[in-house]
Structure 1
Amino acid sequence: MPGRTTAAAEGEVVLFLIGMRINHFRAPHHWLPVFLAMPRMLRELSRDPDSGLLGHQLLAGSPRTYYVVQYWESAEKLLAYASAPDRLHRKAWATINRFERKSRQHVGIWHETYVVPAGNYESIYGDMPPYGLAAATGVLPVERRGRTARDRLAHGAAAQEG
């Protein structure tokens, strides 16, 4: 996409980061189930437009560390998915807890959740296909939100006040 664009996000943004670290490569039977669980959950969420997941990216931090950046409609929808007994997350979490007792620290897992109010985020993409927040919420010409980061943050704050 040529030129400068920004994300079309409106209002609050929920950013969820989740990942794993392979502590011992020689024990794939401990870390492989964790590694394979996330793509299955992402497929389940992607098939359900009411789930609240707006978009995601799978990333590698190093040969040992893998994580997913997820954008959600709301913290409530994220928490509802995490606790739903009929969804894959509950089953995966139960399996991970069971394996963790036996795994002797072969795999590490982590997650972080950020609820970002309107007016506290901005974005710019130069000659990029939709990526990150823009891939999750849509793309606008940057001029619609402001030419500078300060302008784009002020746009979000004004939207929150209005």
Structure 2
Amino acid sequence: MAPAEFKGLLRPQKSQQTGQFALFSFFVKDLFTLQTLILFGSVVQILLISVLPFRVAVLPAAVLTFYAIASTALGTAFSPKDAYMRDVMVGRTSAQYPSRATARFGNQPAECPIVVFHFGVRFSHPLGLFSPGARQTLDHFNACNDLVFQQTDEYGMLGASPWRAAERGSGNTLMMVYYFRDVEGLNKFAHDDIHRKAWDFLSKGGYKHIGFFHEMFCVPAKAYESIYGNMHPLLMGLTSVKCTNEDGEEVWIQPVVDADVGPLRSQFGRMGTAVEKHT
């Protein structure tokens, strides 16, 4: 008996849910080290005490402390869904791509090949985003990111997620993880004038403290798998595929399916190789 068709957990959309990101604010959030933040707070507090009465000078710190404790206590006691559980899908899910021709998931795991592309920059300088050349670098990075989001169908871009490196004291390494249908679409993006200008600036700009990188992985069918437990859509789960449904309408479908069924319960099963591995 053939396994049942996989059950998609998210409703089809009329347009792609790409979830663009404010990259500058994404960087600024973790721009400074903990020591720098403590020093900044200490300087501000000293300045307040030096010009204001003590009771008034400590009021901002007291208010912030009370707010942090109260919001944490309330969040723990009541666990407001809109704040902490927004978009979280309780249980186990997996990313399985639907057929572009039918908009159906079928029952065969990991049927579609995929291209994974890592694209990032690093500022190895005490001033981080305020170092020489950093602003221009981010402008180019944003331009490339805007381009690929604006022409997702042309380039076959399925979606993206932002990530920071954590191997150093401050989060000055930003990486975008993109997913493409095929390498031809990615190559077309790489040859666009906007990307070429960014490449020329980074490779010929002479800023040795500005690092940049990309990695590409061409993953064939039956060579990948995914599992998410109590997670909101991210990575492959945040991508979406342009499909034609039974009514002939174009819809965008996210590949999040229930993973507690059939072959999706095991690693080899999610790769569609369970039979081969056990024969």
TM over 0.5: yes
Residues 93-132 of structure 1: pairs in structure 2 closer than 5 A: 93-99=199-205, 102-103=206-207, 105-132=208-235
Once the two structures are TM-superposed, the CA of residue 120 in structure 1 deviates from its matched residue by: 0.9
The answer to whether residue 156 in structure 2 is matched with residue 55 in structure 1 is no
Q: Which amino acid aligns with 2:237?
A: A
For residue 92 of structure 2, what is the aligned residue in structure 1? 4
Aligned partner letter, 1:25 = P
Give the 3-state SS of the residue equivalent to 1:43 in structure 2: helix
Which shifted more, 24-33 or 120-129? 24-33
CA gap of 1:93–1:54, structure 2 versus 1, over 3 A, is same
2: distance between equivalents of 1:111 and 1:125? 26
% of aligned pairs identical?
Answer: 28
1:17 aligns with 2:123: no
Instruction: Measure, in 2, the Cα distance between the counterparts of 1:156 and 1:33.
Output: 49
**C-alpha distance after superposition, 1:102-128 (max 9, x if no partner):** 22x111111111001111100011121
What is the CA-CA distance between 1:15 and the residue it aligns to?
Answer: 0.6
Asked whether the 8 Å contact 2:161–2:178 carries over to 1, the reply is yes
Q: Distance in 2 between matches of 1:28 and 1:147?
A: 49
Contact 1:13 1:118 (8 Å CA) reproduced: yes
Distance 1:81 1:139 in 2: 26
Q: Give the Å deviation of 1:145.
A: 4.6
Q: 1:73 aligns with which of 164, 169, 181?
A: 181
* Structure 2 runs not aligned, ≥5 long: 1-88, 98-110, 241-254
Q: Which has the larger Rg?
A: 2
User: Which of 111, 125, 135 pairs up with 1:32?
Assistant: 135
| CA drift at 1:157 | 9.4
Stretches of 4+ aligned residues off by more than 6 angstroms:
none
Contact 1:23/1:106 (<8 A) preserved = yes
**Alpha-carbon contact 2:120-2:175 (below 8 Å) kept:** yes
Letter in 2 for 1:39: N
Contact 1:30 1:106 in 2 (8 A): no
2:239 aligned partner = 136
Taking structure 1 as the reference length, the TM-score comes to 0.83
**Higher strand fraction: Structure 1 or Structure 2?**
1
- Alignment RMSD (CA, Å): 2.2
Amino acid corresponding to residue 96 of structure 2 in structure 1: A
Distance 1:157 1:38 in 2: 44
TM-score, length basis structure 2: 0.50
Instruction: Name the aligned partner's letter for residue 4 of structure 1.
Output: R
Distance 1:120 1:157 in 2: 14
CA contact (8 A) 1:118 1:157 kept: no
Distance 1:91 1:120, change over 3 A: same
Shift of 1:20: 1.6
The alignment partner of 2:197 has SS state of helix
Match of 1:91 in 2: 197
Paired residues in the alignment total 153
Where does structure 1 lack aligned partners over 5 or more consecutive residues? none
Structure 2 counterpart of 1:150, from 231, 250, 268: 268
